């Protein structure tokens, strides 16, 4: 099987995404969830002309001259408005957010006036219409403000609540089962012999799953045997996983049994080798309704592949219209890079901003896919297309930010 391009692999992974079922949840639990329907405003905001400042609700023409004296006829506070109209040379004491009484069109600021018993004296004239938030200033009833596929952040969550939505319809979170593989692995905190490696990929992938809006299910470590792998696959099916992510064992060595174990179980293979570095041996297929992503075992390879393929897949399952969008942006190379071969490179790089705010990405000298420290320090991945010519420092490049 020839090496598949990154673009074709990405397209195949996204094409395997099945839109998940919809559930209605309380707005209090809706942060970071993806809307399954567009949201329209159930009310107008503000629902009345409201005061933007503390002061006095008045008619503009009555406060146009310094020294004018108005009669204070009442008070309007938030939640407790003044229920009668005001007339000529009358004022209502008002507080921020309170309804502006009928007949008033201006707020005379309290610091620009002097109160004397039931009178108020204009110390600084005010322009008509000032300091009043007009009805519907923010939004009006019936207007669509949040589209289907929008992922609710802290700001749009507040907007949904202000629109009058106590419950929202969202896509179910994809369940992503994570199965680490390899006789050499031990879990963090366990005793590790000289020929052991402490597993870390499962934590990285679970974090990326959460960032993409999925629910990570840790299945532990399966040893290098068909029996152990089969147990892990069965556990993923029993959990009702929408995606099974295997870590390691995706290559062609004597101990790389993952693909064969999945095939024995009935996996329909889509591809398993990509023209990219790091991350060439990546398995993609389906096992019934469950999508399979077999990530490489090297930590950086696993991380880069999870960012490029797993996260968009999770977002696509939740109806995100931007799931397949290019995540890269322009930058400047901070050092020279040599000619690339037929695989697309993702170079770990430091990232700083020049005086004009343009990102400068400097690839590290060491790019070995086992080096977790370099990956942890990196601020970006510099993308180099297959067969790219040498480039000098200062030339343009494309990067994917890692923070």
pLDDT at 225: 94
Q: Please, what is the average pLDDT of the chain?
A: 96
pLDDT at 288: 96
pLDDT at 253: 62
pLDDT at 2: 79
Q: Which residues of the chain have pLDDT under 50?
A: none
The residues, any chain, with a CB within 8 Å of residue 397's CB and separated by 6 or more, are 330, 331, 332, 333, 361, 382, 383, 384, 391
DSSP class of residue 334? S
What percent of the chain shows pLDDT beyond 90?
95
Parallel/antiparallel/unpaired status of strands 90-94 and 69-76: parallel
pLDDT at 14: 98
Among 271, 286, 284, 400, CA closest to 344? 400
pLDDT at 287: 97
Residue with tokens 């005010």: 126
Sorted by where each starts, the structural domains of the chain and their CATH numbers stand as: 6-20+172-317 (3.40.980.10), 23-45+141-171 (3.90.105.10), 50-133 (2.170.190.11), 329-401 (2.40.340.10)
What is the per-residue pLDDT across 248-283, written as a single tens digit (0 to 9) for each? 987 666 557 999 999 999 999 999 999 999 999 999
What is the per-residue pLDDT across 115-158, written as a single tens digit (0 to 9) for each? 999 999 999 999 999 999 999 999 999 999 999 999 999 999 99
Two tokens at 332? 């400047």
What is the per-residue pLDDT across 167-197, written as a single tens digit (0 to 9) for each? 999 999 999 999 999 999 999 999 888 899 9
pLDDT at 255: 57
pLDDT at 249: 85
pLDDT at 254: 58
Residue with tokens 């399966």: 222
Two tokens at 271? 């591809």
pLDDT at 116: 94
Exposure b/e, 274-297, CB count within 10 A at least 16 = b: bbbbbbbbbbbbbbeebbbbbbbb
């Amino acid at each position: 099987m020839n090496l598949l391009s990154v673009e074709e692999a990405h397209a195949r992974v996204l094409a395997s995404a099945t839109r998940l079922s919809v559930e209605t949840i309380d707005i209090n639990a809706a942060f970071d969830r993806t809307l399954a329907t567009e949201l329209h405003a159930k009310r107008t905001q503000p629902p009345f002309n409201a005061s933007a400042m503390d002061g006095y609700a008045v008619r503009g023409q009555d406060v146009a001259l310094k020294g004018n004296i108005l009669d204070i006829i009442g008070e309007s506070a938030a939640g407790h408005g003044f229920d009668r109209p005001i007339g000529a040379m009358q004022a209502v004491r008002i507080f921020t957010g309170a309804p502006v009484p009928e007949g008033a069109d201006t707020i005379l600021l309290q610091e620009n006036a002097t109160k004397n018993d039931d009178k108020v004296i204009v110390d600084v004239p005010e322009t008509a219409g000032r300091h009043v938030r007009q009805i519907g200033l923010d939004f009006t009833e019936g207007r669509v403000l949040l589209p289907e596929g929008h992922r609710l952040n802290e700001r749009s969550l507040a907007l949904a609540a202000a629109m009058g939505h106590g419950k929202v319809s969202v896509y179910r979170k994809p369940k992503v089962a994570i199965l680490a593989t390899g006789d050499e692995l031990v879990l963090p905190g366990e005793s590790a012999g000289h020929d052991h490696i402490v597993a870390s990929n499962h934590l990285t992938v679970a974090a990326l799953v959460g960032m993409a809006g999925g629910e990570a299910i840790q299945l532990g470590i399966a040893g290098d045997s068909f029996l152990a792998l089969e147990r892990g696959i069965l556990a993923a099916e029993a959990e009702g996983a929408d995606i099974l992510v295997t870590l390691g064992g995706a290559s062609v060595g004597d101990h790389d049994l993952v693909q064969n174990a999945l095939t024995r179980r009935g996996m329909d293979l889509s591809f398993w080798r990509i023209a990219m570095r790091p991350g060439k041996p990546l398995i993609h297929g389906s096992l019934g309704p469950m999508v399979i992503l077999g990530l490489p075992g090297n930590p950086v390879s696993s991380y880069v592949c999870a960012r490029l393929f797993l996260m968009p897949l999770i977002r696509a399952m939740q109806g995100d219209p931007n799931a397949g969008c290019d995540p890269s942006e322009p930058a400047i190379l901070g050092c020279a890079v040599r000619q690339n071969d037929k695989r697309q490179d993702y170079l770990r790089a430091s990232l700083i901003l020049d005086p004009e705010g343009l990102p400068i990405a400097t690839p590290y000298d060491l790019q070995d896919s086992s080096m977790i420290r370099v990956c942890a320090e990196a601020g970006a991945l510099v993308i180099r297309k297959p067969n790219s010519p040498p480039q000098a420092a200062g030339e343009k490049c494309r990067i994917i930010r890692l923070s």
